[in-house]
Amino acid sequence: MEEVEGSSPPAPTKFMTETSKNSLSLHKHPVLQEIRRRVDGASPQLKLALAIEGGSMRGVVSAGMLAAMESISIAPEVFDAVYASSAGGYNGAYFLSGNCRMGSSIYWENNGPFIDKRRPLRKLPLVNLDFVLDEVMVEHKPLDFQKVVDSKKLYLLATDVNTAKRHIFEPAESPDELRQQLRASSTMPWVAGPPTAIANQLFYDAALTEPVPVDASVEAGFEAVMVLVTRPLESGMTPVNLTTKVLERVSKNRLRKLHPDLAAKSMTLEDRVKRSKLLIEMRDSPGVKPPFIYAVAPEVGSPTVGRIEKNRDSLLAAAQAGYVAIKNTFGVECSGKFITDSWLEDT
């Protein structure tokens, strides 16, 4: 990324030209400054990682964010590593392949056989991961698996059922290994069937232990982490109602049957509230020493979707909310739209 002596300076990118109109676009936050520095072609000063939350169909929000990053020339080469959980791993893979705009359309164009409430009547999981991994990502919206493997940047998270701990996969060495890692990271308990088996280990969705992979990236030594969050951070501050507490207790009882510690170690709603408070604090008051964390999240009041949402308009609105969040973060005028042919365009 260093400029070669005697070479001409890099040509202005859309990111560089549009953000220069607004001096507030960098917010003086070390993470955003490091991103701008790299986009401008300057030498890196901090080890920089991208952390992507998933949340099944709620991952459409982080997909919209990544599509916006593509549109303002924040390319995969800007980041030293990408850490991702659950659906965030699929989004990260399309981002690293250079085609996140197409990948994002899977959420509203190819979700029919993916989530089918009739499947449990046939004693099949509600969610069909085979359809996404073996059909959609191969035939309908082909992912360049080899390009993602060659990047050696994608670190996927899952939950090890045998140890009840978070597991971080090293970057896959083959397309088949990448498919298995993506499956392991997104196998929601019961909803997506039994745990995914890899090398005599059983894995469930990363959401049980680290749905937002911030700790994983910081523990790996990254000094600056940009985090893509799929819900407004302030939404995590709302009180936990009785119904939610009951559902959480039922889930924990089922997890306990798999491993005595799995229920105890899985994240609670109170844990999520604490995480939201910490992310807000580190975004607004980064301090002077690393690690520096900058979380991008939809604005309060933005359209939200659930983990098994299928409504096209709702999914498009949520994707647009993520798209706008990135544009606002970097001070770029947002004219991007999710249009009827399912491609993101700047009009």
pLDDT > 70 fraction of the chain, expressed in percent and rounded: 81
CA-based end-to-end distance of the chain: 31
Helix ranges (H only) for the chain are: 14-19, 30-39, 60-71, 87-97, 100-104, 106-109, 129-130, 145-151, 175-186, 214-219, 242-258, 262-265, 269-284, 312-329
Least Cα distance to 229 among 91, 29, 79 occurs for 91
Instruction: Quote the pTM value.
Output: 0.86
pLDDT for res 226: 98
The pLDDT tens digits for 150-179 are: 999 999 999 999 898 999 999 999 999 999
16 vs 147, higher pLDDT: 147
* Cis amide linkage into residue 76, ω under 30° from 0: no
pLDDT in tens, 282-328: 998 898 899 999 999 999 888 888 888 889 999 999 999 999 999 99
Closest CA to 180 of 211, 202, 209: 202
Q: Is the pLDDT of residue 238 over 60?
A: no
Per-chain mean pLDDT for the chain:
84
Q: Which of 14-28, 92-106, 227-241 has the highest mean pLDDT?
A: 92-106
Where on the phi/psi map is residue 331: left (φ > 0), alpha (ψ -120 to 50), or beta?
left
The reported pLDDT for the residue numbered 244 is 53
**What type of residue sits at position 77?**
E
How many helices and strands, by DSSP H and E, does the chain display?
14, 10
Q: How confident is the model at residue 2 (pLDDT cuts 50, 70, 90)?
A: very low
Q: What is the mean pLDDT of residues 205-213?
A: 90
Instruction: Kindly indicate the confidence band of residue 337, based on its pLDDT and cuts at 50, 70 and 90.
Output: low
Residue range 267-280: average pLDDT? Answer: 81
Q: What angle do CA 326, 3, 7 make, to 5 degrees?
A: 120
Tens-place pLDDT, residues 122-154: 888 888 999 999 999 999 999 999 999 999 999
The arithmetic mean of pLDDT across residues 49-64, rounded, is 94
